[in-house]
Amino acid sequence: MCEYSLLDGFLPASDQALVRPNCLRPTLLAEDRLEFDAYAEVVLFALESDAWNGRFMLDAQSSGTLLKRIEAASTDRPDGRVTFEELMRFVDEERNHRHVLDMPKALHGILRRELLERVFFAFDRDGSGALDKAEWEVFLHTLKQQHLQYLLQVALQQSRAFFGRGLYMRSSDERFESPRFWEASALEEAQDAGRRAADLALGGTLPDAASDADASAEVVVSAAAATFSRAVEVGSTMAATMSKITPGGLQVGRDPDCAGRWCLVPEGWLSDLYYYSANNHPLHGMIACDPSHLLTRRERVCMELATLGYSLVCERLVTTWIEEENAPVPLLKDKWVFSVAVITFPSMAIYFTMRLLFTCPELGVVNSATASRAELTKAALCTRAGSLVAYVLLMVGLLFSFTMSDLRVCLEGREACRLSHVTLDVLWGRVRSYMLSWLLTVAVYFNLFMAWGQPDPRRHASCLGDWVGLGQWRIEKQRFRAQCVLGRLALENVVKTPRCNNMNLFCYLNQCAPGAKTA
């Protein structure tokens, strides 16, 4: 499990004794405060799901509106404060659920009674039995930070490459038609492109006449048809935009962000490369992994010990199977075949098996912002059980490795050999593995000249390149940009059409995506 919870459970940020990691341990935290960087927030939310609706924050006005809705569900006179009873009455009314579900996903936890019972009073700073506006905003902000930490843990578990490190929010007057658009920071300009397309749709909402409850069916149908035609116009504009943002298939050449400039490295590449290495490299990870990662330093050391133990066994097998030519299969007498079949693949299997046991994907990771106590307990038990199995296998494996390796022979003195010779051979083998891991990261996942994958979130069919990982960083960056455009449209345009009843423009664009099935 991770070394700490970003907000220490559900205590307000002011109560934390959390110390910022040293400069060698990169994180996604903001430089001036103990919370996620704004750009990293958008990246985590946008890449969480292909169906992102563009919501990732609740401003002060929306927070105040939600507070008023909760007070309206109470029979007491509104006083700008939320009591636990008022919140429970709000949650119990089914009609309020739709409003909450339209908010950012991080705040959906307020619909969980058990969650509220567990954490609500921790934010009552003055002990009044109710949350004032400031305490209420701290509560919602804490839910958001907890949700973000969950998204980060899932992303790290999946070995994601793009996190937007080294990129910043920018205030810019550049629009989509600007020739410098694709060379600038993705977020605001991509949102401007979405806003430009939204303007073509005239807001994407039905006219007031059609919204009137007494409007005739002809008026409603006519308005819906007009809105549908505007959506088609937006869709054609977006088709051109998306084709430029998401050039699918095999991409050969420099990153498009480097076009028109004398550089090979796009902005943010080095920062994300360092962050990826710190969380995925077997040696670098022991020193500099993000404290939010599910793998702790101790667990990473254990994974390395397991690999070293197997290397000792392989050292003995080299002597027996290759030098003495006593291999059970003649093919294994060849050094290259032995290296691949006996050393490389089994070492990878041991490493990833230990990683799976320590992290317990799916079972050991839950969203603290929405999970019940039972779900949290189940996740903790799964993680502890997996860790216990990993530690037992490690001890058994090390004992077996010592018994079967040349190291035991040297220590017992039954054969003339040098202990330093065996040790150096094993250590040199690990050093080569470390260098190969870094080379693989730069040459494959962060390749500067080739990328293969499907960056268009509207195409649900996976591409073979997504499994290979060639140019993974570029593909994920392009997918993020596309999500920004689609998310902005989803946020600003609620379209009702004969084909998409009560669905937004994001749904329409999904249906009209290349290869999508239509009704």
Candidate from 26-35, 179-188, 190-199, 409-418 with smallest mean pLDDT: 179-188
- d(CA 359, CA 293) in angstroms, rounded, equals 9
Q: Please give the average per-residue pLDDT across 41-61, as a whole number.
A: 76
Q: How confident is the model at residue 246 (pLDDT cuts 50, 70, 90)?
A: confident
With tokens 């494959």, the residue in question is 444
Mean per-residue pLDDT of the chain: 71
Angle at 342 between CA 315 and CA 296, to 5 degrees: 80
Q: Which residue has the higher pLDDT, 277 or 233?
A: 277
Residue 75 has pLDDT above 80, yes or no: no
Over residues 307-329, the mean pLDDT reads 79
- Segments of 63-144 assigned E as strands: 82-83, 130-131
Question: What digits encode the pLDDT tens for the residues 380-396?
Answer: 899 899 999 999 999 98
Contacts of 348 (CB under 8 A, 6+ apart): none
Per-residue pLDDT band at 513 (split at 50, 70, 90): very low
DSSP 3-state of 237: helix
Q: Which residues contact 333 (CB under 8 A, 6 or more apart)?
A: 321, 322, 325, 327
> For position 224, what pLDDT does the model report?
41
Instruction: Give me the pLDDT at residue 24, please.
Output: 75
Query: How far is 295 from 357, CA to CA, in rounded Å?
Result: 10
Q: What pLDDT, on the 0 to 100 scale, is given for residue 240?
A: 63
The residue that leads in pLDDT, 496 or 153, is: 153
Q: Which of 24-33, 107-116, 273-282, 327-336 has the highest mean pLDDT?
A: 273-282
Least confident of 151-165, 221-235, 429-443, 460-474: 221-235
What predicted TM-score, i.e. pTM, was given to this entire model?
0.74
Q: Taking the domains of the chain in order of start, what are their residue ranges?
A: 13-157, 181-265+474-511, 271-447
Residue 3, pLDDT above cutoff 60: no
- 277-306 mean pLDDT: 90
- pLDDT for 481-505, tens place per residue? 888 777 766 665 533 333 333 333 3
Spatial contact of 311 and 346, defined as CB atoms under 8 Å apart:
no
CA 125 – CA 107 distance, rounded (Å): 21
